[in-house]
Amino acid sequence: MFVLGLEAPEIASSVRAGQFVNLGWAGGPLLRRPFSVYRADGDHIEVVLKAVGAGTAQLLGMELGDRVSCLGPLGRGFELAGRSAVLVSGGLGVAPMPLVVRDARTSGMEVTWVHGARTAAELCAEAEGDTLIWATDDGSQGFHGTAVAAAPDGDVVVACGPNRMLAAVAERWPHAQVAVETYMGCGTGVCLGCAVPLRRGGYDRACKEGPVYHAADIDWSALPSHLAYAVGA
Ligand SMILES: Cc1cc2nc3c(=O)[nH]c(=O)nc-3n(C[C@H](O)[C@H](O)[C@H](O)COP(=O)(O)OP(=O)(O)OC[C@H]3O[C@@H](n4cnc5c(N)ncnc54)[C@H](O)[C@@H]3O)c2cc1C
Ligand code: FES
């Protein structure tokens, strides 16, 4: 995983946890690529990514000073209120969590972050919070099992990671807030390329009404579980 820093003062000063930016650049793919905002400080934001295709490979090949068109902050973020927040992430699902920690602390919440990966080598090293719990599928570090199984209960549960992990979150905490994976086109509510199937029937646009949803609102059986955001989880 790599962290890419961008000078984006307006976004840095207004972004909320769970919101994303849509990146485009000269010579890049026709459609912009969406990334959660990982950190925001001063005039800068950061995104965390790894190369899964042509677009992400080009981003990782950029030089200091290269220019990227950065649309955002987009989408609806997490609502953080209560005494305690439990953060559950898998693989690249770490992406929105540092801002969740920031916003939860600003609201005076106690933060427990549970991060899971397949092996110790794939755990990110930058997790933070009052209590930190690692979980690995092979037991090579921390809890032997999934992040969902390792997590305690909390007033607010937020989760990000592979859709199959979020489906497990929905079973345990129907009122959890989850940031879902979809394909995206415009990122601004126009193209309908980011449809999320709902349990009550019909679809929402992840870029406008999401990407953060109450877990119980999503029809998990109809949402693809194989997207690249999940790679490494
Ligand atoms: C709201 C949101 C936030 C995201 N935040 C992050 C993040 O913080 N870090 C990160 O690394 N990735 C994030 N993603 C996923 C990221 O947008 C895709 O990995 C990226 O668009 C792939 O572009 P590419 O050109 O490299 O790959 P492509 O060549 O387009 O595709 C390569 C592979 O990625 C899959 N893929 C393409 N687009 C998406 C997509 N939008 N979501 C999931 N899988 C996709 C394809 O099925 C294919 O298997 C996020 C996606 C969304 C919708
Ligand atoms: S990405 Fe175009 S409507 Fe959501």
User: Where would I find the H helices in the chain?
Assistant: 9-14, 54-60, 97-106, 147-150, 163-172
Quick check: 139 pLDDT over 90?
yes
Taking the C-alpha atoms of residue 59 and residue 27, their distance in angstroms, rounded to an integer, is 11
The pTM score is 0.93
Residue 225 pLDDT level (bands cut at 50, 70, 90) = low
What ligand 1 atom has the least distance to the C-alpha of 179?
1
Q: Which residue(s) pair with 48 in the sheet?
A: 3
Residues sharing a CB contact under 8 Å with residue 152, sequence separation 6 or more, in sequence order: 86, 112
List, as one string, the DSSP characters of 79-117.
---SSEEEEEEEGGGGTTHHHHHHHHHHTT-EEEEEEEE
**2-74: CATH, from 3.40.50.1370, 2.40.30.10, 3.40.640.10, 3.40.50.620:** 2.40.30.10
Which residue has 């010579």 as its token pair?
A: 27
Testing ligand 1's pocket by substitution, the residue of 6, 37, 56, 71 carrying the most ligand atoms inside 8 A of its CB is 56
Q: Whose CA is nearest to atom 50 of ligand 1?
A: 35
Query: Which residue intervals of the chain bear CATH 3.40.50.80?
Result: 84-230
Query: Would you say 16 and 103 are in contact if contact means Cβ atoms under 8 Å apart?
Result: yes
Q: Quote the pLDDT of residue 227.
A: 52
Structure token pair of residue 163: 């859709």
Which ligand has the nearest atom to the CA of 32?
A: 1
Q: Is 192 in the pocket of ligand 2 (CB under 6 A)?
A: yes
- Are 187 and 74 in contact by the 8 Å Cβ rule? The answer is yes
- Residues 154-189: pLDDT tens digits? 999 999 999 899 999 999 999 999 999 888 999 999
Q: What is the mean pLDDT of residues 22-42?
A: 95
The average pLDDT across 37-56 equals 95
SS3 206: coil
The 10s digit of each residue's pLDDT in 94-120 is 999 999 999 999 999 999 999 999 998
Amino acid, res. 11 = I
Q: Are 152 and 84 in contact (CB under 8 A)?
A: no
CATH of domain 84-230: 3.40.50.80
Closest CA to 95 of 193, 6, 2, 207: 2
pLDDT category at 231 given cuts 50, 70, 90 is very low
Confidence of residue 125 (pLDDT cuts 50, 70, 90): low
Enumerate the CATH 2.40.30.10 domain ranges in the chain, comma separated: 2-74
